[in-house]
Every structure is written in C-alpha cells, then in structure tokens.
C-alpha cells in the first residue's frame, strides 16, 4: 500500500467508512496509514488544502484568464509579450 498516493488512501478510507458504518476512525487510520484529522475533516466535508484558493490572490479567475488569453494572442501573432505590458494589464 506504500505505492499509492496519500489522496488515494484518503478516498479509499472514506469509501470504507461509507460501506461499513461500524468501522471506527481509528481503525481506518491504521489500515490506510492516514491521520485521523484528515479523515475527520474530509468526512465532515472540508476540502483538501490544495483545493482551496490562496488568500493572497490578487486576481480573480476571470482576470487571470483574460491575461493568459492576451499573452497567447500576442504569442500567436509572433509578438513577444513584454513583462512591463503584462504587469500594466495586471495592475
């Protein structure tokens, strides 16, 4: 079981809890080698930290997509995007 990723083990543990309600959290954590806090948080519906956007983001998703589209458009027209112009757009 050491070759599987941590996230895969968490998913398997959640499925095991759903299939067998008598299975305790402690038993699941020992079987799947995960922390009890992780399985408890996921069971209660909290997403993984990697799935939560950072608090320090300055751009919305739409703004970020527009800047990316602008850079790709410049690149397809064979104009190298300049850092200064991209920075001006972002600000």
pLDDT at res. 31? 94
pLDDT tens readout for residues 64-79: 899 999 999 988 888 8
State whether 12 and 35 are in the same domain.
Answer: yes
pLDDT score, position 89: 83
State whether 44 and 73 are in the same domain: no
pLDDT of residue 91: 81
- Report yes or no on whether pTM surpasses 0.85: no
Q: Supply the pLDDT for residue 82.
A: 85
Instruction: Give the domain range for residue 42.
Output: 6-51
- Residues recorded for the chain: 91
With a cut of 70, list the residues of the chain below it in pLDDT: 1-3
How many structural domains comprise the chain? 2
Please tell me the distance from the alpha carbon of residue 91 to that of residue 7, in angstroms, as a whole number.
37
Q: Does 68 share its domain with 39?
A: no
């Amino acid at each position: 079981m050491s070759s599987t990723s941590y996230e895969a083990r968490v998913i398997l543990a959640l499925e095991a809890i759903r299939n067998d309600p008598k299975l305790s959290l402690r038993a699941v954590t020992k079987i799947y080698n995960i922390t009890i806090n992780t399985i408890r948080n996921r069971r209660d519906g909290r997403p993984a930290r990697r799935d939560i956007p950072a608090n320090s983001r300055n751009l919305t998703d739409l703004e970020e997509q527009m800047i990316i589209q602008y850079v790709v458009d410049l690149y397809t027209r064979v104009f190298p995007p300049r850092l200064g112009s991209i920075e001006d757009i972002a600000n």
